[in-house]
Amino acid sequence: DQQVKQNSPSLSVQEGRISILNCDYTNSMFDYFLWYKKYPAEGPTFLISISSIKDKNEDGRFTVFLNKSAKHLSLHIVPSQPGDSAVYFCAASAQGGADGLTFGKGTHLIIQP
């Protein structure tokens, strides 16, 4: 049973536009959410996180939104750049991150010139 779901395996966006990546979760015990970015042949790189006490967190071009009632979070990238082309993983943890991360299967973001 997948507790963290990323329903879009891939997403294509034009350079300069907004990229929106979505993630749904089922476990109401999750209280901390993270986004990681992964290039081929490299490990995932931490991008941005949000605690369940917040509904938005911003870092430069990246903003994460959390809707606890819908058990949904999204990552917005504005404006999208060619270097943003990568696989993006949504991850969640309970107990403030003290246990292991539960990952979605990833969304491959392709930025078109």
Residues 80/18, Cβ–Cβ less than 8 Å:
yes
Token digits of residue 82: 């060619």
Residue 49 interacts with another protein (CB under 8 A): yes or no = yes
**Binders of another protein: how many residues, by CB under 8 A?**
25
Shortest separation between residue 113's beta carbon and another protein, angstroms? 28
- Burial label for 21, CB within 10 Å (0-12, 13-18, 19+), is buried
Residue 70 interacts with another protein (CB under 8 A): yes or no = no
Cα angle 8, 13, 19; round to 5? 70
Among 89, 92, 107, 111, binds another protein (CB under 8 A): 89
Q: In 3D, which of 23, 18, 38, 35 has the Cα closest to residue 85?
A: 38
Shortest separation between residue 51's beta carbon and another protein, angstroms? 6
5 vs 71, which CB is nearer to another protein?
5
Residue 96 interacts with another protein (CB under 8 A): yes or no = yes
Binding positions for another protein, rule: CB under 8 A? 32, 34, 36, 41-46, 49, 51, 89, 91, 93, 96-106
